[in-house]
Amino acid sequence: MTPLERIIHSPWSFFKIAGVTTVDATLRYLLFAGIGWVLGYWWFRQRWTHRKIIPRFPASSDIRREIGYSLLTLAIFGLVGASTILASRSGWTQMYWKVGDYGTAWFWGSIGCAILLHDTYFYWTHRMMHHPRLFSVFHRVHHLSNNPSPWASYAFAPAEAVVEAGIFPLAVLVMPIHPLAFTLFMLWQIFFNVMGHTGYEFYPQWLMDSWLGKFINTPTNHIMHHEKMRGNYSLYLNIWDRLMGTNHPDYESRFREVTSRPKATATQ
């Protein structure tokens, strides 16, 4: 039985479940964002300088703000998670407990479906939050990081944190998904989220000239969104931005510029 299954089947109260889910989400955030920080802003800072999308580094005050808002977001994630777990316990969702109920193929397929669902959900809610009447309440806090670090991954205003947490109840309401499959999806989510906020471009130069470059999103894409404030609304895939014509016009050229910079030398 997975940890999430044990929580769901436990007799715990709402607030105890919320506490456990908050701690679980916080540990994942600290692990992935911490690894991104140590690698990109400490160990390999000089070696990777040429791949820093925005050459300057964020100020210490920006880092403190990002961590502070992220911790508030994680508490909100815990509350939404606890509500969803109680709903699943009552049989109001399609979460199931035995892999054999739907088979191994669907177990892995549900992870792919969750990624596609979240990518669509994120694109359209993200665009919505950029509406002038909604931006200040929902999305302004996240855009205070115009040169984000890995710690900005969950740096949301409370209203946006509720929206972002909505993928959990949405996923378990619209499709059957096993707790372990959802956990693996959330590991993918935090990994990709942190990678997009590290400030470094990790993909090879040839990516943009391949079919893969037309579908997968890159850190350059998301950092440009923070920098320019408009366009590049996608999360994992670049499909919705291409379909809706919302890629920043300089996105591909910026990616090529960043990935063609000469490697940093040991003396830099």
Residues in CB range of 119: below 8 A, 6 or more apart? 234, 235, 236, 237, 239, 240
In a domain, 260, yes or no: no
Predicted pLDDT at 122: 97
* Percent of the chain residues past pLDDT 90, beyond the cut: 79
In a domain, 218, yes or no: no
Which residue, 8, 12, 67, is CA-closest to 36? 67
In this predicted model, what pLDDT tens digit does every residue of 134-163 receive, in sequence order? 999 999 999 999 999 999 999 999 999 999
- The model carries a pTM of 0.89
In a domain, 261, yes or no: no
In a domain, 232, yes or no: no
pLDDT over threshold 70, residue 256: yes
In a domain, 62, yes or no: yes
Cα separation, 190 vs 154, whole angstroms: 9
In this predicted model, what pLDDT tens digit does every residue of 161-210 receive, in sequence order? 999 999 999 999 999 999 999 999 999 999 999 999 999 999 999 999 99
Q: What is the mean pLDDT of the chain?
A: 92
pLDDT over threshold 50, residue 268: no
pLDDT over threshold 60, residue 267: no
Cα separation, 67 vs 74, whole angstroms: 10
Structural domain including 83 reads 3-200
DSSP per position, 196-214: HHSSB--S-GGGGGSSGGG
pLDDT band at 89 (very low <50, low <70, confident <90, very high): confident
Strands of 79-120 (E only): list them: none
Cα separation, 4 vs 10, whole angstroms: 10
In a domain, 265, yes or no: no
Cα separation, 180 vs 16, whole angstroms: 21
In a domain, 228, yes or no: no
Predicted pLDDT at 88: 86
Cα separation, 87 vs 24, whole angstroms: 19
Stretch 69-90: mean pLDDT, rounded? 93
- The structural domain count of the chain equals 1
Helix (H) or strand (E) holding 17: helix 14-38
pLDDT band at 23 (very low <50, low <70, confident <90, very high): very high
In a domain, 226, yes or no: no
